[in-house]
Amino acid sequence: MNLETVHKGIFILLFFFLFIATVVFIERLLYLFFTFPAEKRLLRKEVEGSSPTSAEALYYTYSEKLERGKGVLMFVITASPLTGLLGTVLGIMDSFSKMAQKGVSDIGEVSKGIAFALEATALGIAIALIALAYYYAVGGLIKKKRGELRKVILNTLNEKEEA
């Protein structure tokens, strides 16, 4: 097994994690700002023709739609640093095996190999921090939109009782 190739594969995997987290973040923003307003209107119509018990079920159904994608972001937050650490371990192993083959004649070459290995951990942590920012931004918006769902349901039920 070529450790250098696997180490480079770790970098590709880390960039894939960043891509997936960014796609989920953008999709959630598009949903929350463009699709959600239409769903609120649909919810209002559905609540008008339902009982309070089924209105509660509708609330949970629409709330679940809001939560989509958060698990993927949490996976990226967790997996990125671990994957980066794996890349660092493999990179250091590769450096040591090259040192064993060639001998330790140039400390600069050894340092360069170890520095390259440590880049994987740094990249993994950076990707986790970006995904964490995505997670909390989406989480804050979801909390706000869940309050809007509650308000739509309660207002519709109150209007229905008054009529």
Report pTM: 0.87
Amino acid at 152: V
Query: What is the percent of the chain where pLDDT is above 70?
Result: 97
Domain count, the chain: 1
The predicted pLDDT at position 59 comes to 92
How remote is the C-alpha of 142 from its chain's centroid?
14
The predicted pLDDT at position 102 comes to 75
Boundaries of domain holding 149:
3-162
In angstroms, what CA-CA distances link 117 with 48, 77, 89, 100, 129?
Answer: 60, 20, 7, 17, 20
Given a cut of 70, the residues of the chain with pLDDT beneath it are 1, 104-106, 163
